[in-house]
Amino acid sequence: MFNFSMSELVVILAIALVVFGPSKLPEIGKAVGKGLNEFKRAIGDKEEPVNITPHSQAQDISKAETTAEVKKSPE
């Protein structure tokens, strides 16, 4: 994905250490890790496409209308 050499990573980590401080770096790392895991999980859930045909939608709508008419009937 990214081609960072070891020296570039050391410079980036040193800058992060100066900016955020040693107490916040573990919290930031944990938050980034959780975010990446959630992103991977969300992408992995997209394996099966949902197929809804117009015919089945029309049947669902007519069932909903019938149910609504039954509920609206006068007492």
Q: What is the pLDDT of residue 63?
A: 60
Q: What is the pLDDT of residue 33?
A: 92
Q: What is the pLDDT of residue 60?
A: 57
Q: What is the pLDDT of residue 25?
A: 87
What pTM, to 2 d.p., does this model score?
A: 0.44
Q: What is the pLDDT of residue 34?
A: 95
Q: What is the pLDDT of residue 44?
A: 79
Rg (CA), the chain: 27
Residues 5/13, Cβ–Cβ less than 8 Å = no
Q: What is the pLDDT of residue 35?
A: 93
The phi, psi pair for 24, rounded to 5°, reads -90, -20
Given a cut of 70, the residues of the chain with pLDDT beneath it are: 1-2, 46-75
